[in-house]
Amino acid sequence: MNILITGGYGNIGVMVVRESLQRGHAVTVFEVRNKATEKKARAYEKRGVTTRFGDIRNLDDVKKAMAGQDAVIHMAAILPPVSDQRPELCHQVNVEGTQNIVEAIQGMDAQPALVFVSSASVMGPTQDQPPPVKADTPLNPTDAYSSSKAAAETIVRASNTTFCVLRLAAVMPTILILNSMIRMLKVIYDMPLDARCEIVLDEDVAFALVSAAENLAGTGELRGQTGFIAGGHQNGLQINIAAMLKGSFNPLGIELPDARLFSDDLNSYYLDWYDTEAIQSILHYQNHNYNQWQAITKRNYRYLRPLVTLARPFVQKWLERQSPRY
């Protein structure tokens, strides 16, 4: 199958590219051109990946990338904190870019299936509601990013295309990505430690998205469906914010900062537990549990941890200083 992956050189996108290649699909990545994406394009060219550089805000660029594809996994988006810093750009890329994807598909004789990758953030704060959050719960976006994803979902659902909408929960990396760790520090203190959250490994996300593309292009049980991609209660991945952060920090030898540095408003962040039963029954993607996540994280950090241990007092103090409540 020919699969186009928009935003395929982002952190999760690379995992989707790898999963697609492992299954024998022909992969095309649509990306904005910069030094980082050019470097990845050169690396993945050796594995048979075709890269189409362009601007998702330009319909002609999108149409050229779409030619000959059987399925599109649409991941390209402006993420926080840039989405808050540049809300107009966020709308152009996340909303108008999705409109271009849909318009390009609708103009094709052989229309590719569309897997639209959304975010659980569209649900807004839900801690005051009984879990798990269901896919048909009314949306309550609260910032530029979640609002753009909610608007893009509306565009996709209104289209006459073969589509599904999959909302990602809190995605945990299985490879060491320092820039992601640093970005996370900008938001962790907005998270109330006692609040529910459900995590999912990036490998399982990639498995789900590629399986969704295969399903839409094949038997089609997912057609028109909206659901969550999250780790699952049975895997011990329905936890709270404190457990998520400890699981991220402890393998590095860092302790969770003092609770007073975090928000005490349970509804100050969007994460929660999610109803994944229907989507899991089709995609069978929940393949890792909490202990496996910890083992993977410890393995990834094994070279970095000794350095952090030597500088632990300074690292710990620096981490605490990132809180606006310090």
**pLDDT tens track for 210-235:** 999 999 999 999 999 999 999 999 99
Give residue 89's Cα distance to chain centre.
Answer: 19
Q: Which of 153-167, 186-200, 296-310 has the lowest mean pLDDT?
A: 296-310
- Model confidence pTM above 0.85: yes
Is position 257 within any domain?
no
Is position 13 within any domain?
yes
What is the residue range of 19's domain?
A: 2-171+200-229
Is position 8 within any domain?
yes
Is position 316 within any domain?
no
Q: What is the dihedral of CA 279, 285, 291, 293, to 10 degrees?
A: -110
Structural domains in the chain (count): 1
Cα separation, 72 vs 101, in Å, equals 9
| DSSP element (H, E) containing 305 | helix 305-310
Structure confidence at residue 308 as a pLDDT band (50, 70, 90):
confident
CATH code of 153's domain:
3.40.50.720
SS (H, E, C) 230-292: CCCHHHCCEEEHHHHHHHHHHHHCCCCCCHHHCCCCCCCCCCCCECCHHHHHHHCCCCCCHHH
Is position 276 within any domain?
no
Is position 17 within any domain?
yes
Is position 240 within any domain?
no
Residue 183: per-residue pLDDT:
67
Angle at 304 between CA 323 and CA 207, to 5 degrees: 85
Is position 295 within any domain?
no
